[in-house]
Amino acid sequence: MLLQVRSLEKTYSRGEETIRALRGVSLEIPEGQFVSIMGPSGSGKSTLLHLMGGLDRPSSGQVILGGESIDRLSDHDLSLFRRRKLGFIFQFFNLLPTLSALENVALPRLLGNESLKEIEPRARELLGMMGLESRIHHKPDQLSGGEMQRVAIARALISDPLLILADEPTGNLDSKTGESILTLLRDMALKTGKTIVMVTHDPKAASYGNRLLRMRDGVLESDETV
Amino acid sequence: MRLFNVFRHIGLSHLKARPARAVLTTLGVAFGISLYVAIAIINHSTRNSMRDSIDAVAGKARLSISAGIAGFPEDRLEVIRVIPGVKSAVPMIEARAFFEGATESADGLQIMGVDLLQEASVRTYKATDQKIIDDPLTFLNQADSIILTQNLATKRGLKIDDKIRLSTALGAREFTIRGLLEPEGAARAYGGSLAIMDIDGARVSFGKENKLDRVDIVPRNGEDLNALQTRIESTLGAGYRVERPETQSEQMERMLDSYQLILTFFSSLALLVGLFLVMNSISVAVAERKREIGTLRALGATRSLMVALFVSEVVGIGFMGSALGCILGKGLAHKMSSQITTSVAAQFQMRIEISHLDFTTSQMLFTLVAGTLAAVIAAFFPALRAATIHPLESMRRHSESSDPAETRRSNLQVVFGVLLLVFMSLSMIFSWGKVWIGIDLLTKASAVLGAALFGPFLVLGLLRLTRGFGAKLSFPVLRLAQENLLRSRKRTGANVMALMVGLFLVMLIASVRSSFHDTLTQWLDRIFVADIMVGSNGRFISGDVQAIQDSILPELLAVPGIKPIGTDRGAATRIIPYYYEGKKMAIKAIDRYADFYRFQNIPVNGSDRVQTALDWYESPEPAALVSRGFLTNAGKKIGDHFELDSPGGKVSFRIAGEIIDYASSQGVIYLDRRVYKKHWNDSLVTVFVLNLETGYTFEQVRSEIAKRLGKKWNLVTISNREFKDQMQSAVERSFAYTRVIETIALLVGLLGLLNTLLISVMERTREIGVLRAIGSTRVQISKMILFEAVIQGFFGACVAILLGAYVGRLFVEYALTEQLGWIIEYHFPKQSVWMTIITGVLVAAVAGIWPARRASGLEITEALDYE
Ligand SMILES: Nc1ncnc2c1ncn2[C@@H]1O[C@H](COP(=O)(O)OP(=O)(O)O)[C@@H](O)[C@H]1O
Ligand SMILES: [Mg+2]
């Protein structure tokens, strides 16, 4: 099993109030699945995604990814783990505005002190797969939203990760561009056998996956495999 | 009222939400103000102390008569007494004495030799034991009697009946303290560094037999002072100065003016850096709150209300900063006052003891108001931009990305900066500042403002030039740091500006210091070729020593190992201060031993040295060599004649040539000592210069001199090397106060950088979150921010060196030469280059620590949510 989530809880305290964002979520994801998570706003989708990606630590429960219990890792090791084993795609693309498309894609491996020369062929290849050959040296502000998101997908793939996590990747795109991004994502998953977990509140987007989780008030409401 | 509401509900909430920024900005203002206040206090107190001192010595006297350091015949007193309108005329002998073993002029004290029986008609004294004043006979009966001030006694740990050894014209002598004066009346003078002796005793001890230095006149009631003054002048004839105490103060104040102006200039620079900080803070706050402003505008707030909102936020900061600045400034004034006193003493050969540092309530109120106002004005311009923000801004999600208006503005800044630098250069070269003091101030301000506006442009240029470097190093963090810096010209510019101005100031001061230092060293190497100098305690350089009788020369020459210089005419120099048209100059009366060196030690400017020296010594009419300062102040040229007042009347001198001499910036006059002795009737000597016989070491000769003559005359023998070392440390000391200015400027620069770095971290919160999400470790983030800081510190330092050296050169070659009358050659401060760079990098690194910790401490999920 690629990913195991065991009775995950996450509580936030905001002043006096405590918010139970996750109230015991357990699930398993085998390799190669494209999982969509749906649910109303505030239901805990992002929180779950963040915990699965090691961006935050659970209040209780465990996340085991690739056989490794990631909540045991130190902050430093967790950073290295994200760098090597995970890919993230965000709603607002979150490319670094100062870097070219190529450098943005290469960034996770650059952070691992590989030289751009070493990474460049792979980065170019990925940008090619995303149909961005002609955009390699452009800065984010010279790209359209769809193009930016495709750069972000390439970035998520550069380290050849075990798992790709996407939080509302089409939330900031028009529906046509969104569809093309989703198609790209699905084709890529099929071709490379990558595992994807995607949060969305758009049923149409969710339908690109082959498994659908529904959340409500911090618990898993349903789990259907298509 | 509306403004009050907006401030209370919105402005205040922002100050509370960003306490760090409010505190940093306040501190920036406070440091800037503190230096300004400190200098203001010191300048003010220096003037007050000087005036007090003059008034205290003058007492009830409305006029005082003097004739220069050599004094005038005692019998003139009777002549003066019978001039109509004179109620009382009280004599005085003035001398400078030194505690035995003194090397610092701070160890000197002013001797007032007075006739205690007559004193009561002009001056008042209050002794701890009043009997000594009221019944001075016992005091007079004992020749070794001296009265010190309570102040001085406490400082040196002395009490009544203690014995002290002072150097006098007769050598070291022992005196017994018979009384102590409370700081009232005359005892307030010279910051309390004074001693009262009986006039006859003083005459003997200080080589002034049958002479007087000063007579104080109390006029009869209702007497017209002008008429009386004219009457005295015409009775006494040439060579006498009859002055009112006020005139004396005015003259000295005028002398201090340019010096104090430079101090004020330096201190206003630090203030300026503080104001940059305010400007920065506000301009960032406006950018950051674009959406909020847009929303408020959409809700119906007017443009002017928006400007007022930001300005009102600064009022508190400006006020708090000014208040804190006042407190810090007072402390700083204490720390700096002795350094500045030393510096003034070195430049004007006049020690003004600051008796007390006063900072009046009205000064404080003024500072509070002016400081607050300055902060408000600094905030006003960036706040104006709040008015231009469109209500639609509230709908926009991202407000970053380059704005063409922004680019235009920063281009305009660069152009303006260049224009200021061009104006500054032209103004310095053609000395426009002479036309009107306002232009002078404007020139100095443009130097700094120009550097501040143009400097960041150069820094960005350097950054761009070295852009590929980080990538090549395959050091992703460095590369990210570089790109971040290049991304926002405005932000980097703001970061660099404050620190750069601080470093610029360091380099400017270093330029001036090293130019002084090197020029002086070179001059000394030329002028001082003898092996040994023998004199009395005190400071050799300025002649601020107790003079000795020239009759000891044969005894000196009899010491084995000593080789006389030149002919039997001796090897003595007499240095005296001399007021020429109100300017304090120095006369150096020199024996003609100089031909021994082919006049090497007469550094003539512009004409043949030997020819000029011979012309001077062998001139049938009295001739003099004069410095540039004299020529400028007197408005004369070579070949002209000028007159000096001597006790025997006016003497006319022909100017035989121009010499280079740094003994006084106002002017130095070289006379042949034979001529001087004749006209001034003064055979005292300030210093003897001698050579070593081969086969003897300096130490041997020194101990021999000490054995044979030292005790008796309290002689000090120093070698060529030692003298030069003393001289250099004197230069160091006279620049010591600049360290405080540099430190404050750098501190403000540090705060500025810290502030902008914090802001830049905050602005990039999301980005940092992304970097963390895709696998940056905390250490990497931390490094990135530190790199950003250090790169800015490094390039800021490079540009500061460039601009500082350039402005320093103009300043030294034009402004200083003009202002001081000293020809100072520019010397690039090589040693300071590394220091400046290291300082820049270190300050930047320190400023980067906190922002780096902030950035690396961010929680990823929160950072990703940050808007
Ligand atoms: N950092 C946080 N601090 C406090 N509460 C939070 C934080 N992050 C999320 N929450 C709360 O947790 C709940 C779940 O949030 P989230 O996972 O973002 O929901 P979703 O992505 O499904 O909209 C919400 O009520 C939200 O307000
Ligand atoms: Mg969400």
Host domain of residue A54? 31-58+72-225
A56, A94, A111 ranked by CB distance to B775: nearest: A111
What are the backbone angles phi and psi of residue B85, rounded to the nearest 5°?
Answer: 100, -15
Q: Tell me the residues surrounding ligand 2 (ion) with CB < 5 Å.
A: A 46
DSSP state of B127: B
Q: B705 and B656, same structural domain?
A: yes
The C-alpha of A1 sits at a distance from chain B's nearest C-alpha, in angstroms, of 23
Hey, what are B840's tokens?
A: 């820049």
* Residue A93 included in any domain: yes
| Closest residue by Cα to residue B163 from B178, B185, B149 | B178
Q: Residue B699 in 3-state DSSP?
A: helix
- Report in angstroms the alpha-carbon separations of B836 from B75, B427, B795: 62, 27, 11
* Residue A170 included in any domain: yes
Hey, what are A11's tokens?
A: 């509580």
**For residue A37, which ligand has an atom nearest its CA?**
1
pLDDT tens digits, one per residue of A7-66: 999 998 877 888 899 999 999 999 989 999 999 988 999 999 999 988 888 999 999 988
Q: Residue B33 in 3-state DSSP?
A: helix
Contact B775 A116 (CB under 8 A): no
Q: Residue B691 in 3-state DSSP?
A: strand
Q: What CA–CA distance (Å, rounded) separates B254 from B250?
A: 6
Hey, what are A172's tokens?
A: 């900031």
Q: B683 and B564, same structural domain?
A: yes
Half-sphere CA count of B593, side-chain side, radius 13 A: 21
Q: How far is the CA of A14 from the centre of ligand 1 (A)?
A: 11
- Segment (H or E) for B438: helix B437-465
The strand pairing partners of B211, in sequence order, are B73
* Residue B532 included in any domain: no
Ligand 1 contact via A19 beta carbon (within 6 Å): yes
| Ligand 1, atom 26: closest residue by C-alpha | A42
| Ligand 1, atom 20: closest residue by C-alpha | A42
DSSP state of B192: G
Q: What CA–CA distance (Å, rounded) separates A158 from B590?
A: 86
Q: How far is the CA of A208 from the centre of ligand 1 (A)?
A: 25
* Residue B58 included in any domain: no
* Residue A201 included in any domain: yes
Q: How far is the CA of A48 from the centre of ligand 1 (A)?
A: 10
The C-alpha of B785 sits at a distance from chain A's nearest C-alpha, in angstroms, of 15
Instruction: Say how many domains are in chain B.
Output: 3
A79, A86, A99 ranked by CB distance to B776: nearest: A79
Q: What CA–CA distance (Å, rounded) separates B347 from B824?
A: 14
Contact A112 B767 (CB under 8 A): no
Ligand 1 contact via A47 beta carbon (within 6 Å): yes
| Ligand 1, atom 17: closest residue by C-alpha | A44
Q: How far is the CA of A90 from the centre of ligand 1 (A)?
A: 16
A83, A94, A113 ranked by CB distance to B766: nearest: A94
Hey, what are B617's tokens?
A: 């010594």
Host domain of residue B12? 1-49+281-395
For B766-808, give the DSSP string: HHHHHHHHTT--HHHHHHHHHHHHHHHHHHHHHHHHHHHHHHH
Q: With a cut of 50, list the residues of chain B below it in pLDDT.
A: 1, 399-401, 568-569
| Residue where one domain finishes, among candidates B361, B395, B429 | B395
Hey, what are B819's tokens?
A: 């202002």
CB within 8 A of B832, min separation 6: which ones?
A: B506, B507, B510, B514
| Residue where one domain finishes, among candidates B713, B733, B749 | B713
Q: What is the ipTM of this complex?
A: 0.86
| Ligand 1, atom 24: closest residue by C-alpha | A42
DSSP state of B541: T
CATH number of the domain to which A152 belongs: 3.40.50.300
Q: What CA–CA distance (Å, rounded) separates B161 from B175?
A: 9
Half-sphere CA count of B159, side-chain side, radius 13 A: 0
Q: What CA–CA distance (Å, rounded) separates B858 from B777?
A: 11
Q: What CA–CA distance (Å, rounded) separates B1 from B239?
A: 71
B 761-790: CB under 8 A from A: 766-767, 769-780
Ligand 1 contact via A43 beta carbon (within 6 Å): yes
Q: How far is the CA of A212 from the centre of ligand 1 (A)?
A: 21
Contact A96 B767 (CB under 8 A): yes
Ligand 1 contact via A42 beta carbon (within 6 Å): yes
| Closest residue by Cα to residue B784 from B479, B490, B496 | B479
pLDDT tens digits, one per residue of A178-203: 898 899 888 888 888 889 999 998 88
Residue B324 near residue B297 (C-beta atoms within 8 A): no
Predicted TM-score (pTM) of the model is: 0.77
Q: What CA–CA distance (Å, rounded) separates B567 from B171?
A: 26
pLDDT of residue A48: 92
Query: Considering only alpha carbons, which residue of chain B is nearest residue A108?
Result: B774
| Closest residue by Cα to residue B616 from B626, B605, B601 | B626
Hey, what are B249's tokens?
A: 């103060």
3-state DSSP of B529-552 = CCCEEEEECEECCCCEECCEEHHH
Hey, what are A170's tokens?
A: 């089409």
A55, A107, A113 ranked by CB distance to B861: nearest: A55
Q: B325 and B221, same structural domain?
A: no
Q: What CA–CA distance (Å, rounded) separates B326 from B589?
A: 48
Q: What CA–CA distance (Å, rounded) separates B626 from B349?
A: 18
Residue B39 near residue B345 (C-beta atoms within 8 A): no
Ligand 1 contact via A171 beta carbon (within 6 Å): no
Q: Residue B743 in 3-state DSSP?
A: helix
E-state strands within A3-85: 3-14, 17-29, 34-38, 60-65, 68-69
Q: B584 and B708, same structural domain?
A: yes
Instruction: Say how many domains are in chain A.
Output: 1
Q: B104 and B35, same structural domain?
A: no
For residue B557, the tally of other CB atoms under 10 A from its CB is: 16
Q: What CA–CA distance (Å, rounded) separates A198 from B14?
A: 37
Biggest CA pair distance of chain B:
101
For B561-623, give the DSSP string: TEE--SSTT--EEEEEEEEETTEEEEEEEE-TTGGGGTTTTS-BSSS-HHHHHHHHHH-SS-E
Pocket test for ligand 1, best of A41, A46, A57, A214 (most atoms within 8 A of CB): A46
pLDDT of residue B5: 64
Contact A83 B773 (CB under 8 A): no
Q: What CA–CA distance (Å, rounded) separates B852 from B782?
A: 5
Q: How far is the CA of A43 from the centre of ligand 2 (A)?
A: 8
Provide the residue type at A129 as one letter. M
* Residue B484 included in any domain: no
The four Cα atoms B177, B182, B188, B192 give a dihedral, to 10 degrees, of: 40
Angle between helices B830-857 and B778-810 (to 10 degrees): 150
* Residue A120 included in any domain: yes
The strand pairing partners of B817, in sequence order, are none
pLDDT tens digits, one per residue of A124-183: 999 998 889 898 999 888 888 889 998 999 999 898 888 999 998 888 888 888 898 899
* Residue B523 included in any domain: no
Q: B349 and B224, same structural domain?
A: no
* Residue B737 included in any domain: no
| Residue where one domain finishes, among candidates B342, B374, B395 | B395
* Residue B485 included in any domain: no
The rounded mean pLDDT for chain A is 88
pLDDT of residue B369: 92
Give contacts of B479 with chain A, Cβ < 8 Å: 110
Ligand 1 contact via A18 beta carbon (within 6 Å): no
For residue B690, the tally of other CB atoms under 10 A from its CB is: 25
> Mutating which of A14, A52, A94, A95 best tests the B interface, going by the most B Cβ atoms within 10 A?
A94
Matching residue, tokens 């040439």: B238
Residue A150 near residue A93 (C-beta atoms within 8 A): no
pLDDT of residue B399: 45
For B383-399, give the DSSP string: HHHHHT--GGGGG-S--
Q: What CA–CA distance (Å, rounded) separates B810 from B813?
A: 5
DSSP state of B184: S
B 485-514: CB under 8 A from A: 486-487
The C-alpha of B407 sits at a distance from chain A's nearest C-alpha, in angstroms, of 16
CB within 8 A of B542, min separation 6: which ones?
A: B105, B345, B346, B349, B575, B586, B663, B664
pLDDT of residue A66: 86
- Nearest ligand 1 atom to the CA of A44 is 17
pLDDT of residue A121: 92
| Ligand 1, atom 3: closest residue by C-alpha | A12
Hey, what are B416's tokens?
A: 């303006």
- Segment (H or E) for B323: helix B303-348
Q: B80 and B37, same structural domain?
A: no
CB within 8 A of B804, min separation 6: which ones?
A: B451, B503, B504, B505, B506, B507, B508, B510, B511, B836
CB within 8 A of B726, min separation 6: which ones?
A: B103, B540, B541, B718
* Residue B290 included in any domain: yes
Q: B685 and B572, same structural domain?
A: yes
Give contacts of A159 with chain B, Cβ < 8 Å: 775
Chain A contacts to B (CB-CB under 8 A) = 46-47, 50, 53, 55-56, 75-76, 79-84, 86, 88, 90, 92, 94, 96-99, 107-108, 110-117, 141, 155, 159
Matching residue, tokens 């003079």: B547
